[in-house]
A and B are shown apart, each in its own frame.
Chain A
């Protein structure tokens, strides 16, 4: 590719990032740090720390993030070790099933959890039927243990990120490194703690950081649990009196600083150490054949985790079919009514249409940007390409809620980007927001493709008379298509699932995407939750199809997309 074109792409990308990544963050920060007299002030931020309510919110968010990360580690690490090391019945199938939670929107699952753990929910009914609970005094699980509910829900949603990272790190490990330890007299237990674990730590931590930042800033799940004492929800609640109130911005600024700190700390601690070892791997790893009862134990472990992870969503499916589900383990009677009603409800059809529109456009934009960034960073040698690549990965570290507030801040009346609002229609804003948030997945996916396709293939085409652009178009792009399709599908389905931007940027019900429609249906009285469930089931089916497609196309490389 000609140098001019590379430079042009580089400049366009940089300009886009400046406008729609750096500037929104700046805009949010500016509001948080600028006093009424337009001077720099720390008043709002210090107020956040002085206010007991905000402080509690931050503390709770932190606690949730810590426990979620630990919980996800405890679930994911043993799974990853079992998968990479052992042969057991149903290994391949369970490996994909265990990733299911990725496509199950947790805040939809929260509806299911609420129904099942409520005072007259399935769990209590089961316990009463088994004679383990007094029917007169059912436990209000969610009343007393809402935070636990949130943590469980998030662990079950996020463990696949660590699982994918740990499994990839484990299978990339040169088996000779462990064999050398065995040769020197180290037994299996010591080998794991002294050699294996330290070596896969960078991979595990990359996943752990994403999980930590994700759960620290998660808004959808606590919102559906009606748990107001976490920062993300406090920010969302204060959005209504937005115009003049700088406190949500100050909260957002604090969140950003914390997230960035966590991210940087883990990068500093584990980013630099390479687990490559000396030389190439000389022996392929063989899976160990376990005695059959141990093999079945692995199978049972995988199946159990999958079952737990899917349970809330099974609840959602049941709820969407149930006429009434009160005080029984499973619903009394089933009906298709809610699906019919859901299709008839004004919010449903328009929200599905909106989400499809936003997500499809966002996918195209993310693909366009992602291909550009990946190409420049893999194939050219121009100055600053690594910076561009690093920039494109940054949205992983920046909480969605921060970005959402940034977009809000930069499109306020009187701001240079006010025109993006298109009156009340958040189309442009949401498309940009979705695209920027999911850009890292597209970039990694495309970059992986470009790295696999040798530049000599393109050079051969040029040697035979193709112009550089033509060579790119006819040779390289077709070869990386699978990666692009997979990255695009991921971007699309994550956009369909997006919560924070959707909640904050879409204010008029006519423009609601699916996620916000589900939220407002849950709040509605009567059959609202059932309708929300029906809509949620539609969304899940949709996502399942797209992600399965991406998984099939990308195969094992799916895991590489979730590394920080």
Chain B
């Protein structure tokens, strides 16, 4: 269990900057997520921590030890690769035993720990199987056992679930989180799947073109996105452009003038819009409703142009009169509204309208 500190990390490949002055601290025992679109540098950052890349500038610390230039095989991390990287010439037990053999552990101890690790990932008795004989889910578990058995200083997971089918992915989310917590492991998990990150992370960092866009707990990021990119990447949302008027009559809320009326919302609390400043409003579909919201000036008159039934929810596409198309999502719908020219109105609570800098 280590605290991982990253200082001013910069990496260039050829002419392009893939990581630019990244600063980050991951606390001991934390399950930390690196989330972002492909090409944002999240895997590159992970590979720096594993020791496969050396940064052009900046430092990496494991607790008080600087590891920036320590070769990968001396770092003591346990990594799960996206392709699993299981060695096809070794069987399951031999794959898992590899790291212990490199550490010159006694024969007896290796056997014992391998059996234990396989039991933990529910593969007891499959030790003598060949890798090719395993299903994708089983291979994934072997990869996990192989990384865990060495009792790593930290666990590094590079999109470990991306090659599994949807059902298995859901099961493994819980399982991986449980194992991490059980061992009190510091774990860094790279993914582009926001549901995975939201459901598993203690904290996460959203990355965009080599930079950290925002770091925080899942709910914090979902509720208070710092930028348009973060708001959009972490969940579905509607954007409305506008111009800040002034602080509203209600403390902590601000009025924003939009093409179809004045709306009232809040910032993430770290800043205040100046009067006349162009801003962006982010309103999540699930915070919009066709019912009444008391004490809110946020009305969106329009008509439904499309209805998508998803079982648990219904998604509507609403053409706002004098405004954009907006997504509205109703959970456990009492009635399913069909597209029509009939005028309707959606509303949102003031607290659900987030004002972003433009």
Chain A interface residues (CB < 8 Å from chain B): 174, 176-177, 179-188, 190-191, 194-195, 198-199, 201, 273-283
Q: A183-B78, A184-B150, A282-B81 are in contact. Are A273 and B72 (CB under 8 A)?
A: no
Tell me if B79 counts as interface (CB < 8 A to partner A): yes
A-B contact pairs, 8 of them (CB 8 A): A180-B79, A180-B85, A182-B73, A184-B73, A185-B73, A185-B74, A278-B84, A282-B82
Q: A199-B89, A279-B163 are in contact. Are A186 and B83 (CB under 8 A)?
A: no
**CB-based closest 3 A-B pairs:** A184-B99, A279-B83, A176-B85
For residue A276, give the distance in angstroms from its CB to the closest CB of chain B. Answer: 7
Chain B interface residues (CB < 8 Å from chain A): 47, 50-52, 71-79, 81-89, 98-99, 102-103, 131-132, 136, 139, 143, 146-147, 150, 156, 158, 163
Apart from A277-B83, A278-B85, A278-B136: 11 A-B pairs, beta carbons within 8 A? A176-B82, A179-B52, A181-B102, A182-B72, A182-B73, A183-B77, A185-B103, A186-B73, A187-B71, A194-B98, A277-B84
Partner of B83, one of A174, A181, A188, A274: A174
A184 to B99, CA, bound (A): 5
A186 to chain B: which residues have CB within 8 Å? 73, 98-99, 102
A279 to chain B: which residues have CB within 8 Å? 82-84, 139, 163
Contact of A185 with B139 in the complex, beta carbons under 8 Å: no
B83 to chain A: which residues have CB within 8 Å? 174, 176, 277-282
Q: A279-B163, A281-B83, A282-B158 are in contact. Are A187 and B73 (CB under 8 A)?
A: yes
Partner of A179, one of B72, B86, B131: B72
Q: Which residue in chain B gives the minimum CB-CB distance to A273?
A: B89
Contact of A174 with B85 in the complex, beta carbons under 8 Å: yes
Contact of A184 with B51 in the complex, beta carbons under 8 Å: no
B143 to chain A: which residues have CB within 8 Å? 278
Q: A184-B146, A273-B89 are in contact. Are A190 and B102 (CB under 8 A)?
A: yes
A184 to B51, CA, bound (A): 12
A274 to B76, CA, bound (A): 29
A232 to B126, CA, bound (A): 51
Contact of A184 with B85 in the complex, beta carbons under 8 Å: no
A278 to B134, CA, bound (A): 10
B50 to chain A: which residues have CB within 8 Å? 179, 183
Q: A199-B89, A278-B131 are in contact. Are A183 and B84 (CB under 8 A)?
A: no
A179 to B85, CA, bound (A): 8
B82 to chain A: which residues have CB within 8 Å? 176, 279, 282
Contact of B73 with A277 in the complex, beta carbons under 8 Å: no
Partner of B150, one of A185, A273, A276, A277: A185
A186 to B85, CA, bound (A): 15
Max chain B CB contacts within 10 Å: which of A179, A191, A195, A279? A279
A182 to B86, CA, bound (A): 13
For residue A428, give the distance in angstroms from its CB to the closest CB of chain B. Answer: 48
For residue B193, give the distance in angstroms from its CB to the closest CB of chain A. Answer: 16
Partner of A275, one of B85, B88, B146: B88
Contact of B73 with A199 in the complex, beta carbons under 8 Å: no
A186 to B100, CA, bound (A): 10
Contact of B132 with A274 in the complex, beta carbons under 8 Å: yes
Contact of A277 with B85 in the complex, beta carbons under 8 Å: yes
A468 to B131, CA, bound (A): 42
B76 to chain A: which residues have CB within 8 Å? 185
Max chain B CB contacts within 10 Å: which of A190, A201, A282? A282
Contact of A182 with B98 in the complex, beta carbons under 8 Å: no
For residue A402, give the distance in angstroms from its CB to the closest CB of chain B. Answer: 34
Q: Which residue in chain A gives the minimum CB-CB distance to B130?
A: A273
For residue A204, give the distance in angstroms from its CB to the closest CB of chain B. Answer: 13
Partner of B98, one of A181, A274, A278: A181
B147 to chain A: which residues have CB within 8 Å? 183-184
A273 to chain B: which residues have CB within 8 Å? 88-89
B74 to chain A: which residues have CB within 8 Å? 185
Q: A273-B89, A278-B139, A282-B158 are in contact. Are A185 and B99 (CB under 8 A)?
A: yes
Q: A281-B83, A282-B83 are in contact. Are A185 and B102 (CB under 8 A)?
A: yes
A176 to chain B: which residues have CB within 8 Å? 81-83, 85
Q: Which residue in chain B gives the minimum CB-CB distance to A181?
A: B98
Q: Which residue in chain B gives the minimum CB-CB distance to A186?
A: B102
Contact of B89 with A198 in the complex, beta carbons under 8 Å: yes
Partner of B73, one of A183, A281, A282: A183
For residue B105, give the distance in angstroms from its CB to the closest CB of chain A. Answer: 11
For residue B214, give the distance in angstroms from its CB to the closest CB of chain A. Answer: 26
Contact of B72 with A177 in the complex, beta carbons under 8 Å: no
Contact of B81 with A182 in the complex, beta carbons under 8 Å: no
A181 to chain B: which residues have CB within 8 Å? 73, 87, 98, 102
Max chain B CB contacts within 10 Å: which of A177, A185, A279? A185
For residue B83, give the distance in angstroms from its CB to the closest CB of chain A. Answer: 4
Q: A185-B76, A187-B73, A278-B139 are in contact. Are A180 and B102 (CB under 8 A)?
A: no
Q: A179-B52, A184-B78, A279-B82 are in contact. Are A199 and B88 (CB under 8 A)?
A: yes
Max chain A CB contacts within 10 Å: which of B76, B79, B85? B85
Partner of A177, one of B75, B79, B85: B85
A181 to B131, CA, bound (A): 16
A273 to B47, CA, bound (A): 30
Max chain A CB contacts within 10 Å: which of B73, B136, B139, B163? B73
B131 to chain A: which residues have CB within 8 Å? 277-278
Contact of B87 with A195 in the complex, beta carbons under 8 Å: yes
Q: Which residue in chain A gives the minimum CB-CB distance to B142?
A: A278
A174 to chain B: which residues have CB within 8 Å? 83, 85
For residue B54, give the distance in angstroms from its CB to the closest CB of chain A. Answer: 11
A191 to chain B: which residues have CB within 8 Å? 73
For residue B62, give the distance in angstroms from its CB to the closest CB of chain A. Answer: 14
B81 to chain A: which residues have CB within 8 Å? 176, 179-180, 282
Contact of B52 with A182 in the complex, beta carbons under 8 Å: yes
A275 to chain B: which residues have CB within 8 Å? 88-89
Contact of B98 with A184 in the complex, beta carbons under 8 Å: yes
Q: Which residue in chain B gives the minimum CB-CB distance to A179?
A: B52
A278 to B82, CA, bound (A): 10
B47 to chain A: which residues have CB within 8 Å? 283
For residue A181, give the distance in angstroms from its CB to the closest CB of chain B. Answer: 7
Contact of B99 with A277 in the complex, beta carbons under 8 Å: no
B84 to chain A: which residues have CB within 8 Å? 277-279
Contact of A199 with B87 in the complex, beta carbons under 8 Å: yes
A394 to B223, CA, bound (A): 67
B163 to chain A: which residues have CB within 8 Å? 278-279
For residue B4, give the distance in angstroms from its CB to the closest CB of chain A. Answer: 15
For residue B246, give the distance in angstroms from its CB to the closest CB of chain A. Answer: 52
A276 to B76, CA, bound (A): 27
A184 to chain B: which residues have CB within 8 Å? 73, 78, 98-99, 102, 146-147, 150
A274 to B78, CA, bound (A): 26
A201 to B87, CA, bound (A): 13
Q: Which residue in chain B gives the minimum CB-CB distance to A199?
A: B89
For residue A160, give the distance in angstroms from its CB to the closest CB of chain B. Answer: 26
For residue A170, give the distance in angstroms from its CB to the closest CB of chain B. Answer: 15
Contact of A182 with B132 in the complex, beta carbons under 8 Å: no
A188 to B52, CA, bound (A): 13
A453 to B76, CA, bound (A): 46
A184 to B74, CA, bound (A): 8
A277 to B132, CA, bound (A): 8
A277 to chain B: which residues have CB within 8 Å? 83-88, 131
A282 to chain B: which residues have CB within 8 Å? 81-83, 158
A475 to B72, CA, bound (A): 49
A182 to chain B: which residues have CB within 8 Å? 51-52, 71-73
A176 to B88, CA, bound (A): 13
Q: Which residue in chain B gives the minimum CB-CB distance to A183?
A: B79
A195 to B88, CA, bound (A): 9
For residue B220, give the distance in angstroms from its CB to the closest CB of chain A. Answer: 31
For residue B289, give the distance in angstroms from its CB to the closest CB of chain A. Answer: 43
A273 to B87, CA, bound (A): 11
Q: Which residue in chain A gives the minimum CB-CB distance to B131?
A: A278
Max chain A CB contacts within 10 Å: which of B47, B83, B132? B83
For residue A100, give the distance in angstroms from its CB to the closest CB of chain B. Answer: 32
